[in-house]
Amino acid sequence: MNDRNLLQRAIKIAEEGIIDGNGPFGAVITRGGKIIAEAVNKVVLSVDPTAHAEILAIRRASEVMKTHNLADCVIYASCEPCPMCLGAIYWSGIRKVVYASDRNEAAASGFSDSQIYNEIALDPAKRKIMFIRHNDAGGEEVFRKWDKFENRIPY
């Protein structure tokens, strides 16, 4: 299957999932052109705000591949990944994203993707959410302990 077919698979599961109570988003992850994981948005059904299609597909792909590093995988998403999912894609090591709709189309159907992109770009002090930093609370000690820990596994 080519990129377009795989993207259409992500779109198809998103469309079909709506009637079951899922959010209107689907994602498919491939390795070597073969589907290894797919998922739809389960936020409401799973009572989990992190249960976006891409997050669930990445978690499944990691389970299948037995590694948190999906560097040789491609993700196909019915809509442009939101900042949470984009962050997850970077952490997973995935290097190619194919998508159909974008953040503005998601916004037109009531989803906050675009707003969250705008917020993330702001200085923490200027966001709508209150951000308070205590830079003298001992946070840096955690990293000093990590740096000295011989058995640490960096990622």
Query: Within positions 43 to 72, which residues make up the interface with a second copy, using CB under 8 A?
Result: 43-44, 47-50, 52, 55, 58-59, 62-63, 66-70
Catalytic residue among 15, 38, 54, 141: 54
Task: Answer yes or no whether residue 4 interacts with a second copy by CB under 8 A.
Answer: yes
Task: Answer yes or no whether residue 147 interacts with a second copy by CB under 8 A.
Answer: yes
Element (H, E) at 64: helix 53-65
Closest CB 137 distance from a second copy, rounded Å = 5
Kindly provide the b/e burial profile for residues 48-84, where b requires at least 16 CB atoms within 10 angstroms of the residue's own CB.
eeebbbbbbbbbbbbeebeeeebeebbbbbbbbbbbb
User: Could you confirm whether 54 is annotated as catalytic?
Assistant: yes
**Tokens at residue 30, please?**
């491939």
Closest CB 78 distance from a second copy, rounded Å = 5
User: Which active-site residues does the annotation give?
Assistant: 54
